[in-house]
Amino acid sequence: MVGNHNSGRKKTQNSENTRMGKKTLYIKQELNHNTGKWIDDPVFQWFKRHHGAQWQTQVREYMREDVEHYKRTSFWQCKCPNVGLLGNYVPNRMPKCHICGSWKNKISKLRNMGI
């Protein structure tokens, strides 16, 4: 096989059961007609300048915060075991969990007693 076998997925220092997976991130580029080279989007250049070598860590942190905000505003937790992709999170549009039968809150239970 050809190529550098040490690139790509790297283990973290904290755990032997965790590793970093390589993903592709597309950044807009524009052709500089004077030099003939492709130049990264200025926002991305400033982001890298601001965060330096830790820019990937910062992107991961933003993703984590965004998912936490999404889960907090769009879902509620039922009493089911926390297993699988969604775990015990139920969308806000559903007042009752169809698996365990728990209600989002007392108001939802009173409004939807016929369900």
Instruction: Specify the pTM.
Output: 0.67
84 and 57: one domain?
Answer: no
46 and 84: one domain?
Answer: no
Q: Which residues 6+ apart lie within 8 Å of 41 measured at CB?
A: 27, 28, 29, 30
* Residue 36: CA count within 13 A, CB half-sphere: 0
The type of residue at 21 is G
Q: How many domains does the chain have?
A: 2
95 and 107: one domain?
Answer: yes
Q: Which residues 6+ apart lie within 8 Å of 37 measured at CB?
A: 31
CB 63 within 8 A of CB 55: no
71 and 100: one domain?
Answer: no
Is 66 a member of any domain?
Answer: yes
Give residue 94's domain range.
78-115
- Higher pLDDT residue, 85 or 1? 85
Q: What tens digit of pLDDT does each residue of 96-111 get?
A: 998 888 999 888 888 8
Collapsing DSSP to helix, strand or coil, 61 comes out as helix
